[in-house]
A and B are shown apart, each in its own frame.
Chain A
Amino acid sequence: MSDTPSSSTPRASGRIHFSHLAATTAPSGFVGRVHEPLRRARPVESRPAILGARGVIKSYRKGALSIPVLQNIDLEIGRGEFVAVIGPSGCGKSTLLHLLATLDVPDYGEIFFEGNRIDNLAAAGRDILRNRYFGMIFQAYHLLPELTMLENVLAPAMIGESALGYWLKRRQYRERASEMLRVVGLAHRLKHKPRELSGGEMQRTAIARALVAQPHVLLADEPTGNLDKATGEEILALLGRLNREQNLTIVMVTHDREIAAAADRTVTLVDGRVQAA
């Protein structure tokens, strides 16, 4: 694991630094563009946390009916922390994860990343955040069925780069993606399509995809939900290893206390509120 590029690049504290990405994956011009929407965000006081939510309220509307999901959530996730968010079904934990990942916007409140407010960013800025700084894995793996494992892992790079930019650095990207698949133990499955793989293998591929862009935070939504116990434990062990060895910040949503036990810290959500520990 120590030979992976991510382990050898320093992670800056407080502010986002792109230099390590520029060196390995992204061209400098592209990085300059990445930084622009983030800079436009209203700067707030610097926090030690890498990711946080303050006073977040979210409800779903169905016609005139409003269903409150998250009610005044305050949450801070420290750098390198492995946090499990647990709670019963419907308590809003997946919604919280989507808000943290900028897939959705809160009705009220703010989401912070590296000390910057990110919930009010323009769509382009949020796209770049998801592409470069957040890695996501899902309960149903969500691999693209038309692509091979290697192509699935390459997807974030293809999305983040222009066609020409990707083409020029395709060798570099392919090496990195193969390396990630090797890290998750799937070096022999590069050319396979998702339907030819087991659930555990698919989830490991999803993890490789989430990590290929060297994100700052991994957001996992019930990553073991569809897996048997043994395979689920394997995945948890992999996440734990990544957290320890690469100092990767992980936010994992689960309804299972046993699985949550693998995390450093557990945040319990009940009826859209954080329950005091």
Chain B
Amino acid sequence: MYKFLLCWRYLRTRYIALVSIVSVMLGVATLIVTNAVMEGFTDEFAKRNNGILADITFESRSLDGVADADAHMREIRRVAGDYIDGMSPTVVVPAILGYSVGKDYRTLQITVVGIDEESYATVSNFGRCLQHPENRRDLDFLLKDGGYDTVDFQADDLALAAQRPAMVNAGWRWRRQLYREHRAAIAPPGSLDGNPFSRRSATTSAKQYVLRAQDPLTASAPEGEDFDPMREQHIGCVLGISIGSFRTSDCVDHFLILPGHDVEITYPSAGKPPKPLSAKFTVVDFCDSKMAEADSTLAFVPIRKLQELRGLIDPSTGVARFNSIQIRLKPGADVKKVCSLLRDNPNFDPFAYAVGTWRDKQAPLLSAIHLEIILLNILLFLIIAVAGFGILAIFLMIVVEKTRDIGVLKSLGASGSGVMGIFLMYGLSLGIVGAGVGTVLGLVFVYYINEIAGGVSWLMNTPVFDRSVYQFEKIPTTIDWLTITLIVSGAMIIAILASILPAWRAARLHPVEALRYE
């Protein structure tokens, strides 16, 4: 009992010891904030990746793929059906995208993904990333009359969301305008000469990049005599939003292509050797998955059309070849287990098929983030370790100061372990106070991190967190209670370790010498 009482009284009267735990407090707070932000970024990254990529991808090792998706899906369901929520076959092929801006014809390397509109919605959140509300409900690859979103509807805070004013024209209206002007004149007055920057001189507002009617893709030969671009569209395609747009620092998206525009995709045919083939597509929507890589390289088209175009359909049987099957698992299913079930299935020759998760695809980045988290934790934990030496020094001082009292306690029958207990408990109490206050401080910091970032930006007159760079409206944070528990326990263990030596010295004091100490 005397241990608790003395420990409590020492806590209340020795302010110097409280000073020593300020560094414990700061160390704990810093660790909590750093981990919350790092985990927030990782979670956001995972969420966005999983939005566009399915949980597991079952891939053919050849671009030309293998035949009969249905048979493969049946086999997958037989092996791991209990864990599977949905599956969708896709055809993935590298391609060149060509489009016109004014008289300028531009090309770009992309990846064309042929998707089955119905089943693809069950394996990824692709549908939720589209810019037209009807397409989000049900994608039909048809150009809409209008009604495309003019702000980033996925933003948590619409006030901070990216603005897309040009999208107000998107759709049939834009398409008709394009082709009307094309028919009226090859280069209408005031139109673009192909260089978007020269637009500044042509418009009153220097900062507004206004996409004007321009020479559309029809500069190349029209599809057929009876094809009327004013009323008809080519095969619909959904482009990653960054393919045809760029973002300025005021968080406004400017578009080189809008839904309604025609683009040309050049892809390899199936066969030996592959030959380049081209087809026209009409952009019907944009996919904004918030994953820079996906948004700047992926173009989605209907799978059946792509299979036809590439010659993946057996003319005699009508059975099509496919590249990969996207698999979404039931919530809580063990991804690794399903992967190994599929890999171990003797019917799936590992020389022909690859099974992986989105994490495998992002492994270099994920492992870099993981390493960064570990290093930061080690470095920041050293702060607490340094604080431990502070506690050690102050405790040794307190033990010297309390030498006579220790002698008195021993003369009253206190054991060495009892005296040791006072100082260990004292160290633990300091650890609890330091870690506790540090935890509260860290959590408050995390809770108000955006306000704090705003304040620091205002003070330093430069943005700490640039929304246009990170593509986040806010700094993402995730509080992981297990991490916090580990940090707090670590701080307490260090506080106890630092008090072991002083406590042991106190316990070893000879009572007679301690009583004589002046």
B340 close to A (CB within 8 Å): no
Interface size on B (CB < 8 Å)?
A: 26
Q: List 25 A-B contacts (CB under 8 A).
A: A98-B512, A101-B411, A104-B510, A123-B415, A127-B413, A127-B414, A127-B415, A129-B413, A130-B412, A131-B413, A131-B414, A132-B413, A136-B412, A142-B411, A144-B405, A144-B409, A146-B6, A146-B13, A147-B5, A156-B413, A158-B1, A158-B5, A159-B414, A162-B1, A167-B1
A residues bordering B, Cβ < 8 Å?
95, 98, 101, 103-104, 123-124, 127-132, 136, 138, 142-147, 151, 155-156, 158-163, 166-167, 209
A144 and B408 within 8 A (CB): yes
B227 close to A (CB within 8 Å): no
B175 close to A (CB within 8 Å): no
Taking chain B's interface residues, is the majority helix, strand, or loop, or is none over half, making it mixed?
helix
| Residue of A with least CB distance to B6 | A146
Q: Which residues of A contact B10 (CB under 8 A)?
A: 146
User: What CA separation (Å) do A127 and B416 show in the bound complex?
Assistant: 9
Given contacts A130-B410, A130-B413, A144-B408, 14 further A-B contacts (CB under 8 A): A95-B512, A98-B511, A103-B410, A127-B414, A130-B411, A131-B412, A132-B413, A136-B411, A142-B408, A144-B405, A151-B5, A156-B413, A159-B412, A160-B413
| Residue of B with least CB distance to A128 | B413
- B501-518: which residues lie under 8 A (CB-CB) from chain A? 510-512, 515
User: What CA separation (Å) do A162 and B6 show in the bound complex?
Assistant: 15
B490 close to A (CB within 8 Å): no
Interface centre among B9, B411, B416, B418 (most CB of A within 10 A): B411
Q: Which residues of B contact A143 (CB under 8 A)?
A: 408
A163 and B4 within 8 A (CB): yes
B residues bordering A, Cβ < 8 Å?
1-6, 9-10, 13, 404-405, 407-416, 418, 510-512, 515
Shortest beta-carbon contacts, A-B, top 9: A131-B413, A146-B9, A158-B2, A166-B1, A158-B1, A130-B413, A142-B408, A103-B511, A163-B1
User: What CA separation (Å) do A209 and B413 show in the bound complex?
Assistant: 12
State which of B4, B407, B412 has its C-beta within 8 Å of the C-beta of A155: B412
State which of B3, B412, B510 has its C-beta within 8 Å of the C-beta of A156: B412
User: What CA separation (Å) do A132 and B413 show in the bound complex?
Assistant: 8
User: What CA separation (Å) do A124 and B413 show in the bound complex?
Assistant: 9
User: What CA separation (Å) do A167 and B5 show in the bound complex?
Assistant: 12
B6 and A144 within 8 A (CB): yes
CB distance from A169 to the nearest CB of B (A): 11
